[in-house]
Amino acid sequence: MIRLKKTVCTGGILALLVAPVQPARSSSQNLSAGIVGDCDGDGRVRINDIIAAVAIALRMSVLSVCPSADLNGDGVIDISELVTMVRNSLGRLPGTPTRTPAPTPRVDGSGTIEGAAEVALDNQDAIGIMEFGCIRNNACQGDRGRLGLALRRVSLSSMREDASSSGTTGSESCSQGGEIQEACIVSGSTSTLTIEYRDCREETVSGNLVLRRGTAIQTVSNRGFCVSREVSATEDTVVLQLRDFGLEEILDGEPVLIVGAELTDRFTPSGEIGCAGEAEGLQVVDGIFSVDCSAEADSIRCPRGETELSLLATQLSLERTSGGFPCERGVLANGSLGIEDGIDDVGYVEEFDGFLLTEAEDDDNVRRYTHTGLVIVDCLGPLDYRTIIDMPATQSGAILVPENAICPSGGVLEVTRPAFFDGAGVGADTSGQGTVQPTGLFQSLLRGLRGPVYQVLRNVDTAVDFGSDAVQVTTLVGAADGSVAACENIAGATSDPQAVVAAEVGKSFPLTRVFKSGLIPFDSLPCFNRNARAGDGRVCLGPECNPGDCTCPPGEECREFSLQQGAPIVEATEGIPAAELVSSLPELNDPCSGFRERSTYRFGNTGPTTEIRQCSALPPAPVGDGFRLENGSSVIFAYDTPLASLFNAGAGGFPVDLDRQNLLRCDGPNSVLHIGRAALDSVPAPLIQFSMGGGVLFDFDADGIADRTVPSCRDLSALSQCKRNDLSRNH
């Protein structure tokens, strides 16, 4: 068991691994009769059982696949139960814990973006230190900061080859006490080296005392390894197992590094040596690893100058590459990783899905990181990262971390929430065909601090359209992945008026989460307070809106609206019929021919009308379709969407003449004039900017103005809602 250097709570996952276990109490499931995590009832917890439980914890599978993993019977699997399974798989847990964890609260709104910043920094630290394999490549033994330095082997001169030539054994005294024992066995085409550290005490180059305990087992796909002790970095597959492994580095009587591990690390080379001088290939890690360090440590480069991380990897694959100038190291991550940050006292489980982290170092020892790809965090949900490299304000192109710095000093991250609604995937297509000009029908998209998006439609006196009295809105839709496109067309010799907005099939925002105002008799620019209504926001229209907080004083000429005040869009209200989802539009003629099989909302149970002859009648629902927005009036739709999403929405319709006074001599009632109108806008994804002083700025609507500033990255608090109070702690 390794010592913990602090008197504050630190044990986390590692504490669960080594702490004594209390006898299990009875439960409604009588789990004590079996083994926690034995999904298939074969009497053991295997890696496939752990993978199944992680899928359940991430809500990618159902509890019935492995009910034995739910040891407290609360219907969910949390990180403490996953840790228990890992301990069972290692044969270290004779019973079951007695904890009854509370359900994990979910972070939403601006907290999602703050949490995403914390996760990004944790991933830089976690992935950066999960390099156990320098033992497989002598070339990296001189690189300070690789854990391979902690796995010193017995010198070849002290080894002796056994009589059968099937391996070697040997031992060596450590310079400050204790010893290392080795045995290397050849079997078939592989060699297995077992290194046992028996309270081995040595000094670093700076004079720090290093104490090693435990066992490292290295299997190499090379039968000559036991004699040569050479590993081909481009050809040999190496499996490293750390069993009860602990390392402690001490300076002036105080620990500056504590490492503990119980894991398996498999590295399969790709056959190439990258620009970093290291083998490229695939690393797969399973097990538990804990690092508690400060900047004074010699044996490892301590991330951010001070780190206290416990990591639980489950089939975590890290594809390592390097290239470019200056040399950039890349890690493509897939699989599951549980993280406990002891400094911030938070814990969570994340699933990587093609997430790429790159790292480069300049001449000033400043590390440059980029984040690209999808991470699914149990208490935040899916987060899609992109490092902004084309913003003149930063001129860094990466997240900058000076040597031993606590926080980054530059860089910008964009974070979006992928759209998983109605089984849709991730994607965007805003390439509408035709010409999109919101003249007459104006649209504004406004986002509240918690995330809701308000679509404000204003008919600003469309009488300029040859005498129209209203715009009849026939299509309207929003999407949380930016997939809405729009098209409008004017009547010509060979074409009719057209107006359409539509999303890719399956990606329209769910109607059950869309709300609407009534028709509002004002068309002024909207006043918007994004902080009002607990972050839902408030819109005010009219000449008497209070510009300070966007309220409408009683009896004044204005109207205010927020999400909580809205009526469901699926219900009919005065002047606006109930909306329905049309899952597939018919083919339109050119120039709006690219909308076949797209989806949109319609108002009423017919239509929607997207193409119509000039001067034809277009009555509103229930006789026809759509709703009328008369000149000088407005309407607001509210989408209850999370903050971390790229959102776009649009509306399309046709100017109509109601009084038979128009310049086109259309003499029928409800006559469509010569043009279609379509409006389309987007709300950008939020941005996270790291500043020179170590602070973090959050721009929730990507308008270039910071909406929230945190003085230091250590002051981020969103993930405190992901705190794992159920984990036992050492004090």
Q: What digits encode the pLDDT tens for the residues 493-520?
A: 678 899 999 999 888 999 999 999 999 9
Q: What digits encode the pLDDT tens for the residues 162-204?
A: 434 456 778 889 889 999 898 999 999 999 989 899 999 988 8
Got the DSSP string for 399-423? EEEETT-SS--B-EEEEE----GGG
Distance CA 275, CA 400 (A): 21
Distance CA 311, CA 287 (A): 8
The stretch 267-296 carries a mean pLDDT of 87
So what's the pLDDT on residue 538? 95
CB 668, CB 89: distance < 8 Å: no
So what's the pLDDT on residue 424? 23
SS3 14: helix
Residue 12 — left, alpha, or beta (φ > 0 → left; ψ -120 to 50 → alpha)?
left
Q: Running DSSP on this structure, what letter comes out for residue 83?
A: H
Asked if pLDDT for residue 6 goes beyond 80, the answer is no
The pair of three-digit structure tokens given for residue 594, joined into one six-digit string: 């690219």
Q: How confident is the model at residue 640 (pLDDT cuts 50, 70, 90)?
A: very high
Q: Which residues contact 259 (CB under 8 A, 6 or more apart)?
A: 2, 147, 150, 245, 246, 247, 248, 289, 290, 291, 292, 299, 300
Q: How confident is the model at residue 392 (pLDDT cuts 50, 70, 90)?
A: low
The pair of three-digit structure tokens given for residue 680, joined into one six-digit string: 């389309």
Q: How confident is the model at residue 643 (pLDDT cuts 50, 70, 90)?
A: confident
Which has more confidence, 237 or 55?
237
Report the range of poorest mean pLDDT among 53-62, 425-434, 464-473. Answer: 425-434
Which has more confidence, 389 or 525?
525
Distance CA 408, CA 482 (A): 30
Q: Running DSSP on this structure, what letter comes out for residue 237?
A: -
Beta bridge partners, 184, equal: 168, 193
So what's the pLDDT on residue 570? 96
Asked if pLDDT for residue 421 goes beyond 50, the answer is no
What is the percent of the chain where pLDDT is above 70? 78
Asked if pLDDT for residue 114 goes beyond 50, the answer is yes
Q: Which residues contact 163 (CB under 8 A, 6 or more apart)?
A: none
So what's the pLDDT on residue 437? 36
The pair of three-digit structure tokens given for residue 720, joined into one six-digit string: 């405190």
Asked if pLDDT for residue 284 goes beyond 90, the answer is yes
Q: Which residues contact 205 (CB under 8 A, 6 or more apart)?
A: 298
Asked if pLDDT for residue 20 goes beyond 50, the answer is no
State the Rg of the chain over Cα: 31
The pair of three-digit structure tokens given for residue 30, joined into one six-digit string: 């009588």
So what's the pLDDT on residue 727? 32
**What pTM was estimated for this model as a whole?**
0.66
Instruction: Write down how long the chain is.
Output: 731
Distance CA 165, CA 184 (A): 11
